[in-house]
Amino acid sequence: MIDFGALKNVFNSSIDDLLSANGLVVPCLLRYSDMGKDTVCPNCIFDPISRLSGHKYNGTGPISFPTGSICPVCQGEGTIVGSAKTENINLAVIFDSKYFLNWSGAKTVDIPTGTIQSICSISEIGKIIKASSIVVDTNISTYGNYEYSRDGDPNPCGLGDHRYITTLWSKIS
């Protein structure tokens, strides 16, 4: 009889070793974008009628200013335009679609050229889902642009449990 508990332990240990700092991971840069969404200024009182600053300090913001003057944080706009943020993450990356992990049974024949697959712990799923793009292997970024956009949702995978995720990414021209 096969001891599936021992088999799962060997599998998980092997994948954990591949995803360790000394394994097959490369440093990647996740780029997040709140897609330009404006947020209410944290420094002044927002006037919902004019949709601008009420020209009054809210008492909790970073820079106080006299009532009736222009807020130094939002310049009187009442909102602050969102900006892109980045975060470094280590991912195992497969560049050749012949070697993609195919846990869902989907055909890999239809995968376009320039598609890559990343593998990481499922604990990183929130970061992957929120990322608007990724720069793969920042160690070689001086040799060219290796930026990709996420091509669908991450797929949980594992042997009897979902400890890992695979994600497809398409090259950004």
* CA–CA distance, 170 with 113 (Å, rounded to integer): 8
* CA–CA distance, 155 with 92 (Å, rounded to integer): 15
Predicted confidence at residue 106, as pLDDT, reads 52
Predicted confidence at residue 38, as pLDDT, reads 73
Mean pLDDT of 61-80: 87
Give the rounded percent of residues in the chain with a pLDDT score beyond 90.
44
Domains and CATH numbers, the chain: 4-33+84-171 (2.30.110), 38-81 (no CATH)
| Res. 139: pLDDT tops 80 | yes
| Res. 103: pLDDT tops 60 | no
| Res. 82: pLDDT tops 80 | no
Q: Give the type of residue at 89.
A: I
| Res. 159: pLDDT tops 80 | yes
Q: Which of 23-27, 56-60, 111-115, 131-135 has the lowest average pLDDT?
A: 111-115
Phi-psi region of 55 (alpha: psi -120 to 50; beta: other; left: phi over 0): left
119-137: string of b/e by CB count within 10 Å (b at 16+)? bbebebbeebeebebbbbb
- Phi, psi torsion values for 133, nearest 5 degrees: -160, 170
Name the band, by pLDDT with cuts 50, 70 and 90, for residue 72.
confident
Name the band, by pLDDT with cuts 50, 70 and 90, for residue 170.
very high
Mean pLDDT of 158-172: 90
| Res. 108: pLDDT tops 60 | no
| Res. 104: pLDDT tops 70 | no
Name the band, by pLDDT with cuts 50, 70 and 90, for residue 121.
very high
* CA–CA distance, 38 with 41 (Å, rounded to integer): 9
